[in-house]
Chains A and B, each alone.
Chain A
Amino acid sequence: MAMIEICNITKSYGEFKVFDGLSLEVEEHQVVCLIGPSGCGKSTLLRCMNGLETIQDGEIRIHGDRMSGPGVDVNALRRDVGIVFQSYNLFPHMSVLENVTLAPVKVLHESRASAEEKAMRLLKRIGLEHKAREYPDRLSGGQQQRVAIVRALAMGPMVLLLDEITSALDPELVSEVLNIVRDLAAEGMTMLLATHEMGFAREVASKVCFLYGGKVHEEGPPSQMFSEPKEERTRAFLQRIIEAGRL
Chain B
Amino acid sequence: MGENEGNREGGLIADLLGSDRRFTAGTPPRDATGWSITALFVALFVIFATWSTLNGIHAALATVGVGGVLPAIPLVLCGIAALILLWPAVQSWRQSQVAKSALAGGDLVATRVATASLREYAFSTFGYAAVVVIALFAAQFFIANELAVSRTFFQVPLIVSSLSLVIKAFWTNIYIFVIAEILVLVWGLIVAIARMLPGDAARPIRLISMIYTDMFRGLPAIINIYLIGFGIPLTGLPVLKDLQPESYAILALTLTYGAYVAEVYRSGIESIHWSQVAAARSLGLSYMQTMRYVVVPQAVRRIIPPLLNDFIGLQKDTALVNVIGSIDAFNQARIVASNHFNLSPVTTVALLFILITIPQTRLVDKLIERDQRRTRAGGN
A contact set with B: CB distance below 8 Å = 47, 50, 52, 74-76, 78-79, 82-83, 85, 87, 89-93, 102-103, 106-108, 135, 137-138, 151-152, 155
Tell me which residues from 63 to 86 in chain B have a Cβ below 8 Å from any Cβ of chain A.
Answer: none
Q: Write the nearest CB–CB distance from A100 to chain B, whole angstroms.
A: 10
A89–B374 Cα distance when bound, in Å, is 19
A106–B275 Cα distance when bound, in Å, is 20
CB contact between A78 and one of B275, B284, B297, B301 (< 8 Å): that residue: B284
Residues in chain A near residue B294, CB distance under 8 A: 91, 102
Residues in chain A near residue B25, CB distance under 8 A: none
Known A-B contacts A107-B289, A151-B283; the reply to A137 vs B276 at CB < 8 A is no
Contact between A52 and B283, CB atoms less than 8 A apart: no
What DSSP secondary structure best describes chain B's contact surface? helix
Residues in chain A near residue B283, CB distance under 8 A: 78, 82, 102-103, 107, 151-152, 155
Residues in chain B near residue A151, CB distance under 8 A: 283
CB contact between A87 and one of B275, B280, B377 (< 8 Å): that residue: B275
Closest to A154 in B: B283
Tell me which residues from 194 to 230 in chain B have a Cβ below 8 Å from any Cβ of chain A.
Answer: none
A103–B282 Cα distance when bound, in Å, is 10
Known A-B contacts A93-B298, A93-B375; the reply to A106 vs B293 at CB < 8 A is yes
Tell yes or no: B281 within 8 A of A by CB: yes
Contact between B297 and A103, CB atoms less than 8 A apart: no
Q: Write the nearest CB–CB distance from A151 to chain B, whole angstroms.
A: 7
A107–B286 Cα distance when bound, in Å, is 8
Known A-B contacts A85-B278, A85-B279, A107-B289; the reply to A92 vs B375 at CB < 8 A is yes
Tell yes or no: B98 within 8 A of A by CB: no
Q: List 30 A-B contacts (CB under 8 A).
A: A47-B278, A75-B284, A75-B285, A75-B286, A78-B282, A83-B282, A85-B275, A85-B279, A89-B276, A89-B279, A91-B276, A91-B280, A91-B298, A92-B298, A93-B297, A93-B298, A93-B375, A102-B285, A102-B293, A106-B289, A106-B293, A107-B284, A107-B285, A137-B376, A138-B376, A138-B377, A152-B282, A152-B283, A155-B283, A155-B284
Residues in chain B near residue A89, CB distance under 8 A: 275-276, 278-279
Contact between B293 and A78, CB atoms less than 8 A apart: no
Residues in chain A near residue B301, CB distance under 8 A: 93
Contact between B279 and A91, CB atoms less than 8 A apart: yes
Top 7 A-B residue pairs of the complex, sorted by shortest distance between their CB atoms: A89-B279, A103-B283, A107-B284, A78-B284, A135-B375, A79-B284, A83-B282
Q: Write the nearest CB–CB distance from B147 to chain A, whole angstroms.
A: 56
A82–B294 Cα distance when bound, in Å, is 18
Q: Write the nearest CB–CB distance from A194 to chain B, whole angstroms.
A: 14
Closest to B278 in A: A52
B contact set with A: CB distance below 8 Å = 275-276, 278-286, 289, 293-294, 297-298, 301, 374-377
A232–B376 Cα distance when bound, in Å, is 49
Residues in chain A near residue B285, CB distance under 8 A: 75, 102-103, 106-107
CB contact between B282 and one of A50, A87, A102, A138 (< 8 Å): that residue: A50
A19–B95 Cα distance when bound, in Å, is 73
A92–B285 Cα distance when bound, in Å, is 17
Residues in chain A near residue B280, CB distance under 8 A: 91
A239–B294 Cα distance when bound, in Å, is 43
Q: Write the nearest CB–CB distance from A79 to chain B, whole angstroms.
A: 4
A75–B284 Cα distance when bound, in Å, is 4
Residues in chain A near residue B278, CB distance under 8 A: 47, 52, 85, 89
Contact between B374 and A135, CB atoms less than 8 A apart: yes
Q: Apart from A87-B275, A93-B297, A135-B375, what are 19 other A-B pairs with CB-CB below 8 Å?
A: A52-B281, A75-B286, A78-B281, A82-B282, A82-B283, A85-B279, A89-B279, A92-B375, A93-B298, A102-B285, A103-B285, A106-B285, A106-B289, A107-B283, A107-B284, A107-B289, A137-B376, A137-B377, A152-B282
Residues in chain B near residue A102, CB distance under 8 A: 283, 285, 293-294
Closest to B280 in A: A91
Residues in chain B near residue A79, CB distance under 8 A: 284
Residues in chain B near residue A135, CB distance under 8 A: 374-376
A91–B376 Cα distance when bound, in Å, is 12
Q: Write the nearest CB–CB distance from A171 to chain B, whole angstroms.
A: 21
Residues in chain A near residue B293, CB distance under 8 A: 102, 106
Residues in chain A near residue B377, CB distance under 8 A: 137-138
Q: Write the nearest CB–CB distance from B295 to chain A, whole angstroms.
A: 10
A75–B288 Cα distance when bound, in Å, is 12
A151–B294 Cα distance when bound, in Å, is 14
